Amino acid sequence: MKKIKNEKLSSILFIEIAEILNEEVRYIKKNFLVTLMKVNINSNMNRIKVYINIYPFLDKEIIYFIRSKSRFYRKLLSKRLRYRVKKVPKLDFRVIYNN
């Protein structure tokens, strides 16, 4: 039962985090794309690992901006999921490098 709950929650979080990143990150620079690849939730529900990819090339400034705003994104996420989730875990952004 816990696995089903975790999968449902991760799918909801995937959609909401993707929308937040789409709205907030576009103001940093032009001509790049941040895509959300995967969302993993710890078993004790205290951390969300968010895997992103940056196109067309990896930019350290974008990564730094996203990681520095993780508290703000968590606050936005808690407002969006107010009645569905009691506590929103901390967001940990990780980069999947381009091949």
Q: What is the pLDDT of residues 65-95, one digit of tens each?
A: 889 999 999 999 999 888 888 888 899 999 9
Q: What does pTM read for this prediction?
A: 0.85
What pLDDT does 50 receive?
Answer: 94
Q: And the tokens for 45?
A: 């529900």
CA trace torsion 19, 49, 58, 15 (10° rounding): -20
Q: How far apart are CA 63 and CA 48, in angstroms?
A: 17
Quote the percentage of the chain above a pLDDT of 90.
Answer: 35
